[in-house]
Amino acid sequence: MADNKREKLSGMFREFLDQESVVDQPTSLAAYECDGLSAYRQLPLLVVLPETIKQVQQVVTLCHEHSIPIVSRGAGTSLSGGALPHQDGIVLSLAKMNRILNIDQLSRTAVVEPGVRNLAVSEAVQHLGLYYAPDPSSQIACSIGGNVAENAGGVHCLKYGLTVHNILGVKLILPNGELVILDQQSLQSQGYDLLALIIGSEGMLGVVVEVTLKLLPIPECARVVMGIFDDVEKAGNSVADIIAKGIIPAGIELMDNPAIRAAEDFVKAGYPTEAEAILICELDGTEEEVEAQITRVEAVMKAAGADETRLARDEAERLLFWSGRKAAFPAVGRISPDYYCIDGTIPRKTLGVVLNEIRRLSEEYKLPVANVFHAGDGNLHPLILYDANNEGELEKTEELGSKILQLCIAQGGTITGEHGVGVEKIGEMCVQFSELERNQFHAIRDSFDSNGIMNPGKGIPTLARCAEFNSMHVHHGELPFPELERF
pLDDT in tens, 317-333: 999 999 999 999 999 99
Assess whether 190 and 308 both reside in one domain.
no
Assess whether 10 and 59 both reside in one domain.
yes
Tell me whether strands 70-73 and 46-48 are parallel, antiparallel or unpaired. unpaired
Decide if 119 is inside a domain: yes
Q: Tell me: the pLDDT tens digits for 250-304? A: 999 999 999 999 999 999 999 999 999 999 999 999 999 999 999 999 999 999 9
CATH classification of the domain holding 133:
3.30.465.10
Q: Cβ(130)–Cβ(218) under 8 Å?
A: yes
Question: What's the pLDDT score for residue 38?
Answer: 80
**Residue, of 487 and 273, whose pLDDT is higher:** 273
pLDDT value at 485 more than 60: no
pLDDT value at 451 more than 70: yes
Assess whether 269 and 308 both reside in one domain.
yes
CATH classification of the domain holding 63:
3.30.43.10
**Cα distance between residue 270 and residue 320, in whole Å:** 8
Decide if 7 is inside a domain: yes
Decide if 484 is inside a domain: no
Assess whether 243 and 288 both reside in one domain.
yes
User: pLDDT band for position 37 (50/70/90)?
Assistant: confident
Assess whether 33 and 143 both reside in one domain.
no
Question: What's the pLDDT score for residue 352?
Answer: 85
Assess whether 248 and 362 both reside in one domain.
no
pLDDT value at 158 more than 90: yes
Assess whether 191 and 287 both reside in one domain.
no
Decide if 417 is inside a domain: yes
Residues 412-435, mean pLDDT to the nearest whole number: 95
Examine the fold and report which residue of 217, 241, 267 is the final residue of a domain before the chain moves on.
Answer: 217
Q: Tell me: the pLDDT tens digits for 347-395? A: 988 988 898 899 999 999 999 999 999 999 899 999 999 999 999 999 9
Q: Is the pTM of this model over 0.85?
A: yes
Assess whether 469 and 345 both reside in one domain.
yes
Instruction: Specify which residues 214 forms β-bridges with.
Output: 109
Examine the fold and report which residue of 268, 301, 331 is the final residue of a domain before the chain moves on.
Answer: 331
Decide if 9 is inside a domain: yes
Examine the fold and report which residue of 66, 93, 120 is the final residue of a domain before the chain moves on.
Answer: 93
**Cα distance between residue 201 and residue 369, in whole Å:** 29
**Domain of 88?**
2-93
Q: Tell me: the pLDDT tens digits for 168-195? A: 999 999 999 999 999 876 666 678 899 9
Assess whether 213 and 164 both reside in one domain.
yes
Residues 423-451, mean pLDDT to the nearest whole number: 96
Assess whether 363 and 298 both reside in one domain.
no
Phi, psi of 176, deg, nearest 5 = -95, 5
Decide if 378 is inside a domain: no
Assess whether 365 and 461 both reside in one domain.
yes
Question: Which 3-state string (H, E, C) describes the chain?
Answer: CHHHHHHHHHHHHCCCCCHHHEECCHHHHHHHCCCCCCCCCCCCCEEECCCCHHHHHHHHHHHHHHCCCEEEECCCCCCCCCCCCCCCCEEEECCCCCCEEEEECCCCEEEECCCCEHHHHHHHHHHHCEECCCECCCCCCCEHHHHHHHCCCECCHHHHCCHHHCEEEEEEECCCCCEEEEECCCCCCCCCCHHHHHCCCCCCCCEEEEEEEECEECCCEEEEEEEEECCHHHHHHHHHHHHHCCCCCCEEEEEEHHHHHHHHHHHCCCCCCCCCEEEEEEEEECHHHHHHHHHHHHHHHHHCCCCEEEECCCHHHHHHHHHHHHCHHHHHHCCCCEEEECCEECCHHHHHHHHHHHHHHHHHHCCCEEEEEEHHHCEEEEEEEECCCCCCHHHHHHHHHHHHHHHHHHCCCECCCCCCCCCCCCCCHHHHCCHHHHHHHHHHHHHHCCCCCECCCCCCCCHHHHHHHHHHHCECCECCCCCCCCC
Assess whether 268 and 255 both reside in one domain.
yes
Residues 404-413, mean pLDDT to the nearest whole number: 96
Q: At CA 221, angle to CA 219 and CA 224, rounded to 5?
A: 110
pLDDT value at 219 more than 70: yes
- When divided into structural domains, the chain yields a total of 4
Decide if 375 is inside a domain: no
Average pLDDT value over all residues in the chain: 93
CATH classification of the domain holding 246:
3.30.70.2190
Decide if 457 is inside a domain: yes
